[in-house]
Structure 1
Amino acid sequence: MPPNFDPFTLEGVIFEGSYTKDSVLATKNFKSRPDDIFISTYPRSGTAWTQNILIGTVYGTDNLTDGQNFDLHYLSPYLELVLNDVTGCALADNSLKNPRLLKHHLPVHISPIDIFSKELKNVLVFRNPKDVSLSYFKLYKTGPNLRRHQSPTLQIFLDRFLEGRVNYGSWWSWNKQWIKYGRANPDTNLMIHYEDLKEDFAKEIRRLESFLNLSPMTSETIDRLQALTSVESMRERLDTEKNYKGMGVVNKGEANRWKTEFPPEYVEKFDALTRETFGDDEIVAKFI
């Protein structure tokens, strides 16, 4: 019997995609290995980009060159997702990769407990909520189990986003929790801004190498990694039957697209909530 993908709320968080309560709870209680590397992001924050970067950095860039055989679900399982009746947790349990690169979108209070109790390496990526919401609005039109929850207009969706009535809940709550944890535990958490990756790719890769205690890549290899993780390259790999064909997972990959596409009245609404949530915290200054 196929899973029931009706929307549900678990521990105060809305889920409207290919998840079940069991798959989320299995992720919370996921049994880790000592060298696991977690990727913790709010949706549409550059997650697939980060996964591809880590695959190329940890496993080698050759893993990004075989487009037709590339399998993101194997190389970097999405833990709480249910795909073809198989959970990401099950894929991870059966993975022979070492270390494993494990993705999830869960807020702190229902994230894999081992991240905290075993102090495992965790890569956090943050992105401007205005750009996140634009990308999310589009995903709601293309995601197989999100389409039925899409909003008829961008403005209606932005109201939902401001109120946290979207898949995975409030961007503001999610990021506030993870920023607090990441700051308190800098040895095991690397916090990256999506915008910084766009602005100075090589600099952020050097930070990632240092965080993971990896041997530095040559400048030429970093250039190759950047080319292989471009929007065009990733779209070619991910828009395949093995991955996310037709789902629009790779969007435009632009920073500050909101400046030309965001309704002006919502700029102040988003910025006001960001100020209310974070005050003058410098980590979110670039989101205003």
Structure 2
Amino acid sequence: MPTFTYEGIRFDGPAYTHKTIEATKNFQSLPDDVFISTYARSGTHWVQNILIGAVYGIDILENTQEFEMGKLSPYLEAAFGNKSGCELANEMTRRPRLLKTHQPTNLAPCEIFSMKRRNIVVLRNPKAVLLSYHEFYHNNMWLRDQASAELSDFLDRSMIGDVLSGSWWKWTKDWVDYCRANPDTNLMIHYEDLKEDFAKEIRRLESFLNLSPMTSETIDRLQALTSVESMRERLDTEKNYKGMGVVNKGEANRWKTEFPPEYVEKFDALTRETFGDDDIVAKFI
């Protein structure tokens, strides 16, 4: 499978090309666009499904046969089939557009910054992220050739940024800094907070996007329709990501029993080195 680097970031698999990355960076946005910026395996599809239900109407999540993620929330820098995510975005008639990217700040759509577009950044504990990412490489038919046989090898690679999307630490630090400097147009959502108090985080999303508040019953329905089981039924289809293993176990703290203890220490040390005495460290260790 093709592997290349672009501005220091590694890209694995045939879904990415120099052309799609450049198109994403230069993507021409609309004033009401909503970007969903995540490091891979941070709860991306969960938040996409939540936003699709909250913004476009919750009933759309129940129509499994017609649900098509690429047309509802395009993945900008990827090309599945004949069209790139940017091309799919440009064909959208729904507003606002919900646009997904895994790009670090140096490769993300420039208009997020220059035009101050609304941007939701999803964050997750790096140990959970990289444990899931290792499994994703093995489960994804396009990435298996680049997978590390041993988890420890993959974790070593991740600490130097030698995985798809680059270093979680640099990616996260740069996006956190930008979000804090521009709070009016950027919202940080932590995966673990969404797991702990779904309704509270939905209220934050509603406020950020100026959505009409849902009833408690509707929020409960949204939570059920964005469960791991429900998303797997929708996304593991020919219209979506069949065979790519995009929906994993969805557990917040599985790393506590499955992560090698010596790498807990290594990850935590790198997290403290990256973020210093920032309070956000408590979310990541």
Q: 2:198: which partner in 1?
A: 201
Cα displacement string for residues 8-30 of structure 1 (whole angstroms, at most 9, x for unaligned residues): 11111111131001100100000
1:223 paired with 2:220, answer yes
- 1:10 is aligned, of 6, 12, 21, to 6
Q: 1:20: which partner in 2?
A: 17
d(CA) in 2 for partners of 1:64, 1:26: 29
Q: 2:140: which partner in 1?
A: 143
- 1:171 is aligned, of 168, 173, 189, to 168
- 2:33 is aligned, of 30, 33, 36, to 36
Counterpart AA for 1:248 = G
Counterpart AA for 2:10 = I
d(CA) in 2 for partners of 1:284, 1:95: 38
Alignment of 1:66-145 (within 5 A): 66-145=63-142
For the residue of structure 1 that corresponds to 2:106, the secondary structure is helix
Q: CA contact under 8 A between 2:76 and 2:100: conserved in structure 1?
A: yes
Cα displacement string for residues 188-246 of structure 1 (whole angstroms, at most 9, x for unaligned residues): 00001000000000000000000001110000000000000000100010010000112
- 1:269 is aligned, of 261, 266, 273, to 266
Unaligned runs of 5+ in 2: none
**Number of aligned residue pairs:** 284
d(CA) in 2 for partners of 1:67, 1:171: 33
For the residue of structure 2 that corresponds to 1:123, the secondary structure is strand
Q: Percent identity?
A: 69
Q: CA contact under 8 A between 2:10 and 2:166: conserved in structure 1?
A: yes
Q: Compute the displacement of 1:144 (Å).
A: 2.7
Q: Compute the displacement of 1:69 (Å).
A: 1.1
For the residue of structure 1 that corresponds to 2:280, the secondary structure is helix
TM-score (norm 2): 0.98
- 1:232 is aligned, of 229, 233, 257, to 229
Cα displacement string for residues 129-167 of structure 1 (whole angstroms, at most 9, x for unaligned residues): 000011100110122321110001111111111111000
- Greater displacement, 5-14 / 72-81: 5-14
Counterpart AA for 2:104 = P
- 2:280 is aligned, of 280, 283, 288, to 283
Counterpart AA for 1:136 = Y
d(CA) in 1 for partners of 2:48, 2:94: 14
Cα displacement string for residues 47-84 of structure 1 (whole angstroms, at most 9, x for unaligned residues): 00010000011011001001111101100000000111
Q: CA contact under 8 A between 2:61 and 2:225: conserved in structure 1?
A: yes
Q: 2:47: which partner in 1?
A: 50
Q: Compute the displacement of 1:284 (Å).
A: 2.7
Unaligned runs of 5+ in 1: none
- 2:243 is aligned, of 231, 243, 246, to 246
d(CA) in 2 for partners of 1:92, 1:142: 27
TM-score (norm 1): 0.97
Q: 1:189: which partner in 2?
A: 186
d(CA) in 2 for partners of 1:114, 1:23: 16
Q: Compute the displacement of 1:97 (Å).
A: 1.0
For the residue of structure 1 that corresponds to 2:213, the secondary structure is coil
For the residue of structure 1 that corresponds to 2:127, the secondary structure is helix
Could you list the structure 1 runs, at least 4 aligned residues long, displaced by more than 2 angstroms after superposition.
none
Cα displacement string for residues 95-117 of structure 1 (whole angstroms, at most 9, x for unaligned residues): 11111000000000111011111
Alignment of 1:152-171 (within 5 A): 152-171=149-168
d(CA) in 2 for partners of 1:84, 1:10: 22
Q: CA contact under 8 A between 2:142 and 2:244: conserved in structure 1?
A: no
Q: CA RMSD in A?
A: 0.8
